[in-house]
């Protein structure tokens, strides 16, 4: 039987079977990178015709907490990774008993619950804005008063793209009971609203052998609490970016992640850095790494999971992405040819066949001689749609 140290040095070579928990667009793009490198791919998703199913060798249908489906996913796999962190802990443990699970059970357990994530960050000395964990309406009243009356409330489990959170602006506590009920009256994090300059993302990769590579920061812009566009390089002061990169390198090592870790980081107008949220997987804000960096985040995940040498994260061109939500389709058939007439623009669709408002259907990417030009091109292309 191989030892734990052997698993840290063993390489999983092309031709092996890579399994992915989740078959959404992130799983799809990871699967495409894995297939390019010669790996076979199996995915698990609640939907049989999920985006990744069209490029995978096999799709296992199962809910995120389906232990039996997780067992079938991992059986015979050489390694397992994920594209969504909201996998049941029992399912994660079952996978880990059958194959190397990367990023690992413990880090995912911490990150998937925002109440645990914020507490872990604070206890381990990482910078977070003022917050309180709330488990009752009474605790919410206390937290809002303590945090100055302007608060973002986020449920601990689930919630993404603005779902499962609410902004509270009050000094007297009126209406808090209704907000608490609307979010399901379940454990949540109350975060003090900060005076922000911008939000950036920093992505780090770590292999089982301990090699770490960090990507340059990307600058993000949200609309209705959903990422609208992201651009790389971020254009923030070099000293701030260096601090952020060191911070995330420390984070991925401290958490013991084998795979990817993306940190969304707030930069305040006074020049402070605060970690907003973590994701142990590929991230929407690094889709432009396919265009702007030597190694895309998806290839890097495959390298890390398979314990291969990590690729260079060096930037090769300014690049930007803009998300295409279902709203675009609801206004009429998109004019893709018009968008693709913009120099430097590429179209990325996820094969989701039912557009809905707020649903990510694809993205446009662009390169340019500067971050500003790349962003202008991708925004112009979206307008032409």
Residue 114 domain-assigned?
no
pLDDT for the residue numbered 305 = 98
Residue 357 is part of which domain span?
A: 196-384
Q: Provide the edge-to-edge strand list for the sheet that holds 188-192.
A: 131-134, 188-192, 150-155, 165-169
Q: Provide the edge-to-edge strand list for the sheet that holds 40-45.
A: 58-61, 40-45, 17-21, 79-82
Residue 77 domain-assigned?
yes
Shared domain check, 253 and 183: no
Residue 276 domain-assigned?
yes
Residue 182 domain-assigned?
yes
In degrees and rounded to multiples of 5, residue 81 shows phi and psi of: -130, -170
∠ CA 278-284-289, nearest 5°, is 105
pLDDT classification of 341: cutoffs 50, 70, 90: very high
**Mean pLDDT on 118-138:** 95
Shared domain check, 220 and 175: no
pLDDT for the residue numbered 3 = 46
Phi/psi class of residue 158: alpha, beta or left (left: φ > 0; alpha: ψ in -120 to 50)? left
**pTM of the predicted model over 0.75:** yes
Number of domains in the chain: 3
Collapsed DSSP state (helix, strand, coil) of residue 197: strand
pLDDT digits (tens, 9 = 90+) for 247-296: 999 999 999 999 999 999 999 999 999 999 999 999 999 999 999 999 99
Shared domain check, 223 and 354: yes
Q: How far apart are CA 100 and CA 7, in angstroms?
A: 8
Contact status, residue 187 vs residue 134, Cβ threshold 8 Å: yes
Contact status, residue 266 vs residue 324, Cβ threshold 8 Å: no
Shared domain check, 154 and 224: no
∠ CA 155-272-146, nearest 5°, is 45
Joined together, the tokens standing for residue 50 give 């999920």
Output the domain CATH number for residue 278.
3.30.470.20
Output the domain CATH number for residue 175.
3.30.1490.20
pLDDT digits (tens, 9 = 90+) for 192-202: 999 999 999 99
Shared domain check, 186 and 79: no
Locus of tokens 């009920």: 181
pLDDT for the residue numbered 53 = 98
Domain boundary among 192, 221, 240: 192
pLDDT classification of 224: cutoffs 50, 70, 90: confident
Contact status, residue 187 vs residue 133, Cβ threshold 8 Å: yes
């Amino acid at each position: 039987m191989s030892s734990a140290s052997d698993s840290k040095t063993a390489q999983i070579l092309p031709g092996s079977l890579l399994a992915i928990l989740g078959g959404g667009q992130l799983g799809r793009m990871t699967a495409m990178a894995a297939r390019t490198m010669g790996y076979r791919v199996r995915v698990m998703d609640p939907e049989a015709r999920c985006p990744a199913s069209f490029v995978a060798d096999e799709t296992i249908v199962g809910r995120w907490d389906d232990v039996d489906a997780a067992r079938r996913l991992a059986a015979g796999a050489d390694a397992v990774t994920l594209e969504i962190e909201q996998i049941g802990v029992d399912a994660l443990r079952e996978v880990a008993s059958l194959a190397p699970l990367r990023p690992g059970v413990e880090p995912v357990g911490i990150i998937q619950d925002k109440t645990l994530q914020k507490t872990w960050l604070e206890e381990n000395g990482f910078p977070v804005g003022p917050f309180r964990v709330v488990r009752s309406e009474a605790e919410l009243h206390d937290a809002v008063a303590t945090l100055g009356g302007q608060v973002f409330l986020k449920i601990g489990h689930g919630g993404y793209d603005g779902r499962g959170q609410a902004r509270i602006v009050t000094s007297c506590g009126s209406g808090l009971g209704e907000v608490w009920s609307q979010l399901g009256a379940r454990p949540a994090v109350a975060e003090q609203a900060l005076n922000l300059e911008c939000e950036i993302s920093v992505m780090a990769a770590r292999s089982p052998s301990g090699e770490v590579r960090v990507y340059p920061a990307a600058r993000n812009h949200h609309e209705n609490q959903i990422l609208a566009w992201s651009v790389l390089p971020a254009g923030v002061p070099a000293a701030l970016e260096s601090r952020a990169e060191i911070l995330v390198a420390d984070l991925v090592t401290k958490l013991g992640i084998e795979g990817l870790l993306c940190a969304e980081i707030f930069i305040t107008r006074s020049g402070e850095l605060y970690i907003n949220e973590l994701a142990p997987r590929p991230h929407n804000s690094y889709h432009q790494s396919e265009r702007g960096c030597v190694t895309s985040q998806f290839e890097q995940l495959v390298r890390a999971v398979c314990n291969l040498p990590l690729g260079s994260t060096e930037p090769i061109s300014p690049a930007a992405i803009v998300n295409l939500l279902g709203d675009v389709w609801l206004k009429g058939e998109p004019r893709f040819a018009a968008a693709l007439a913009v120099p430097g623009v590429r179209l990325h669709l996820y094969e989701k066949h039912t557009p809905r408002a707020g649903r990510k259907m694809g993205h446009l990417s662009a390169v340019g001689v500067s971050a500003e030009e790349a962003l202008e091109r991708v925004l112009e292309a979206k307008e032409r749609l």
